[in-house]
Amino acid sequence: MAFDMTFLNTFCFALTVTAVAGTCLSSVSWEDPRVDVFGASSSSIWHKFYTGWDWQPSGSFEQIPAPDASCPSVSSWGAGRLDIVYVNASGGNVLHKYYEHSWGPSWEGVEDLGGNFTSLTTNSWGSGRLDIVARTPEGAYMHKAWTGSAWYPAGKGWEDFGGNFEGPPAAASWSAGRLDIVGVGAENGTLLHKYWQDGWSSWEDLKGGPFVGAPSITSWGPGRFDIWAVKDKDLNHLFWDGSQYRGWEKLGGVSQVPQVVHWNATKIDIIAKLDDGYFIKSWDGDSWNPADGWSPLASSFSSEPSVVAKRGTNFLSVFGIDKNSELRSQVWTGYDWQPAANKTWSLGLLKGSEVFRPEEL
């Protein structure tokens, strides 16, 4: 059965990635109404996409060959373009695959970008641009970028940002030519920040903490970014308003940084996993709703959520993997949750799904 799911991902085609207990999700939109959802198994990356009318492949998942795949970071710099980047689970090098009319460098092939890493994140600030930030086993962050015609540094080289971080990096862009990177320092657990704007800044210590796990950074538009990190099972929030930092504020108990999206300037939606259920908290431009705690959504999930927001309208899609290994979704239409606040649609069973190779997506 088809249902109306018109999506556009949040600012600059940002993405959401989540991984927990062997399950992972990444969702992205290259333009309204397209949405793509990805995850990883030991020998392939599975994929399903919404066309504006229905989900394809119908009744199954596309299995993209990717031996030794880890949880992929997926981004889009524009209509018809997808970039999949992941750490080789057996070798630690970064592998890259892309879609532009067809899968490249080939259906079976991947591009080896070198390095030796434990985790990574990707971001695109606009057409022809892809940034990768990765963490080494020693805790340093390194960077590589596709500039539109070539990789920088060239070949398998990487730009060394140094530092000593306890976990994965996070990155966001508020406009073309701006990139913000954050991570939790291994020495004292504070939040460290570095940015590109006509050149790289040094690392600045934003204090707070001691934080644990992976932080997150998001932006609703030029001059604004929001940072999210967990301390003592409490979500902490700090933001840059264009001239100064404000925060840290505490928003309630979570064990991992939740998914955060912006469907417009001044709007924030946070989807968190508490026990096996999903919960939401939203900023409407003036206040948090609910003021205290979180509003419940559907439950019985094994994965953290992944969320896509339609830019310019109060429309959200939430994805998760349930305890039976089914990919499930529910949407906020701007007025209500569909199929219901506590219910979801099934998008298919992941275990044993049929291998599908389309000629065209």
> Higher model confidence: residue 63 or residue 10?
63
pLDDT score of 126 more than 50: yes
pLDDT band at 23 (very low <50, low <70, confident <90, very high): low
Q: What are the two backbone dihedrals, phi and then psi, of residue 339, each rounded to the nearest 5 degrees?
A: -70, -20
pLDDT for position 1: 31
Distance CA 304, CA 278 (A): 8
Distance CA 312, CA 255 (A): 31
Q: Are 218 and 228 in contact (CB under 8 A)?
A: yes
What's the full length of the chain, in residues? 361
pLDDT for position 312: 85
pLDDT score of 17 more than 80: no
Q: What is the mean pLDDT of residues 326-337?
A: 96
Q: Chain-wide mean pLDDT for the chain? A: 90
pLDDT score of 304 more than 90: yes
pLDDT for position 266: 97
CA-CA-CA-CA dihedral for 195, 197, 200, 202, to nearest 10:
-50
Q: What angle do CA 152, 178, 124 make, to 5 degrees?
A: 60
pLDDT band at 66 (very low <50, low <70, confident <90, very high): confident
CA-closest candidate to residue 18, choices 213, 262, 246: 213
Name the CATH architecture for the domain at 11-349. Answer: 6 Propeller (2.120)
List the structure tokens of 291. Answer: 């003021």
Q: What is the mean pLDDT of residues 293-303?
A: 96
Distance CA 354, CA 335 (A): 36
Instruction: Enter the pTM of the model.
Output: 0.91
pLDDT band at 42 (very low <50, low <70, confident <90, very high): low
Match 């606009």 to its residue by tokens.
Answer: 126
pLDDT band at 223 (very low <50, low <70, confident <90, very high): very high
Q: Are 185 and 194 in contact (CB under 8 A)?
A: no
pLDDT score of 202 more than 50: yes
Q: Please state, as a whole number, how many other Cβ atoms lie within 10 Å of the Cβ of residue 89.
A: 15
- The fraction of the chain above a pLDDT of 70, given in percent, is 90
pLDDT score of 169 more than 90: yes
Domain ranges of the chain: 11-349
Q: What is the mean pLDDT of residues 158-167?
A: 97
pLDDT score of 244 more than 70: yes
SS3 sequence, the chain? CCCCCCCCCCHHHCCEEEEECCEEEEEECCCCCCEEEEEECCCEEEEEEECCCCEECCCCCEEEECCCCCCCEEECCCCCEEEEEEECCCCCCEEEEEEECCEECCCCCCEEEECCCCEEEEECCCCCCEEEEEECCCCCEEEEEECCCCEECCCCCCEEEECCECCCCEEECCCCCCEEEEEEECCCCCEEEEEECCCECCCEECCCCCCEEEEEEEEEECCEEEEEEEECCEEEEEEECCCCEEEEEECCCCCCCCEEECCCCCCEEEEEEECCEEEEEEECCCCEECCCCCEECCCCECCCCEEEEECCCCEEEEEEEECCCEEEEEEECCCCEECECCECEEEEECCCCCCCCCCCC
Match 């979704």 to its residue by tokens.
Answer: 329
Sign of CA dihedral 258, 259, 263, 264: positive
pLDDT score of 15 more than 60: no
Sign of CA dihedral 293, 299, 300, 304: negative
> Higher model confidence: residue 314 or residue 279?
279
Which amino acid type is present at position 168? P
pLDDT band at 354 (very low <50, low <70, confident <90, very high): very low
pLDDT for position 41: 72
**Would you give the DSSP letter of residue 12?**
G
Q: What is the mean pLDDT of residues 330-348?
A: 96
pLDDT for position 61: 94
